Amino acid sequence: MADVTPTRYRWGAIAWLLTLQFFVVETVVQLQTGVAHSRADDVISQLGTSASAAPLLMNASFVVQGLLIGAGAVLLCPALTGLGGRLAAAFLTAAAVGVVLVGLFPLDGQEDLHQAGAGLHLVGGGLTLLALAYAVRPRSEALGTGLALLGLLSTAMTVFFALGITSFLGEGGTERASAYPVPIGLALAGAGLWALGRRPQTEPRPSRRELRARERVERAERARERDAALEAAVGLPDPTRPQRTPADAEPDDDDFDPEDPWAASRRHT
């Protein structure tokens, strides 16, 4: 992770924790609207239409949600490195812009812009959680696993909602199963990054790929040492050591003179 000050960690975490305001505002507006709104049958955006008891409050919550997501991204994304960090920054931007469009253009107003914003938020939100999981997993396996599960749930429910597969949870229930994991995951990620940023900096734990590569190198080294030991045991030459050649041998000139084969031996007894 990059060098991020404790103040940035703190305020970034607070921004993402405050995205939970969405649940409070949605509950308040739904209670004011009464039986006219069903969480299972009606989509969230209907709380921002003129049929709602407090459309301005709900739409303001959407806009604030986008601003909080964007603020947290600006403060915390520099702490995320690698591919996961880069993808998280892009998906967070999409999710933030999408939910702002939802609040600025209600469902009963400019529906095309509203639907585009909703799709951008739901798709970007689920993919954000998956990217964050990939980015933080080397530092915290528990946090990474939790974000991955939330991201998979959100992405799967987004696909079901887009394809109209809503008979089990209802249209509103399926959309909420897609949208709810996003603020929950961001709150967990913000709190987790804040806690990790307060710990002493340590070397990140190696990935599984790196561990497998190390094991392959160690096995190859052990095999080389074993082969060298076997060769030494049976008297085979060590290929790593230079071998003596006939030219390197000491000349034997004790008994034979090629110039005078009848000469007496120079060895004295």
Q: CA-to-CA distance for 194 and 189, rounded, in angstroms?
A: 8
Q: CA-to-CA distance for 176 and 39, rounded, in angstroms?
A: 8
Q: What are phi and psi of 108, to 5 degrees?
A: -95, 10
pLDDT at 220: 86
Tens digits of per-residue pLDDT, 212-246?
888 888 888 888 888 777 777 776 565 555 655 55
Domain range list for the chain:
6-198
What the block records as the tokens of 137 is 């997993």
Q: CA-to-CA distance for 44 and 96, rounded, in angstroms?
A: 17
pLDDT at 158: 97
pLDDT at 6: 86
User: Minimal CA–CA distance to 71: which of 100, 105, 45?
Assistant: 100
pLDDT at 265: 53
What the block records as the tokens of 23 is 């649940």
Tens digits of per-residue pLDDT, 14-25?
999 999 999 999
User: Minimal CA–CA distance to 161: which of 187, 179, 142?
Assistant: 179
What the block records as the tokens of 2 is 């990059």
Q: CA-to-CA distance for 32 and 237, rounded, in angstroms?
A: 90
pLDDT at 205: 59
Residue labelled with tokens 């109209």: 164
pLDDT at 196: 86
DSSP string, 58-75: HHHHHHHHHHHHHHHHHH
Region for residue 174 given its phi and psi (left: phi exceeds 0; alpha: psi -120 to 50; beta: otherwise): alpha
Which residues, given as ranges, of the chain have pLDDT below 50?
1, 268-269
pTM summary value: 0.73
pLDDT at 40: 94
Q: Classify burial at 60, counting beta carbons within 10 Å of its beta carbon; exposed 0-12, middle 13-18, buried 19 or more.
A: middle
Secondary element (H or E) of residue 113: helix 111-136
3-state helix, strand, coil in the chain (%, to 5): 70, 0, 30
